[in-house]
């Protein structure tokens, strides 16, 4: 199952807050972009987002 297929129901079942859901969906989008692009500016933007994604691991 795709990441977004897990993230959205996690909100519906109260596992993720609205903020966590948005963060998770953004993280999934960033993951998809890193696989298919080699643009340095985008890589730096995604790298800067990593600390906030760590919050979802707790």
The DSSP code for 17 is -
pLDDT for res 49: 93
Answer yes or no: are the C-beta atoms of 30 and 24 closer than 8 Å.
Answer: no
Q: Where are the domains of the chain?
A: 3-57
Q: Tell me how crowded residue 28 is: count the other CB atoms within 10 A of its CB.
A: 16
**pLDDT one-digit tens code per residue, 25-54:** 999 999 988 887 788 999 999 999 999 998
Report pTM.
0.79
């Amino acid at each position: 199952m795709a990441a977004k297929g897990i993230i959205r129901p996690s909100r519906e079942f109260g596992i993720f807050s609205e903020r966590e859901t948005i963060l998770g969906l953004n993280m999934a989008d960033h993951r998809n972009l890193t696989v298919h692009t080699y643009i340095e500016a985008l890589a730096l933007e995604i790298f800067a987002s990593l600390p906030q994604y760590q919050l979802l691991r707790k």
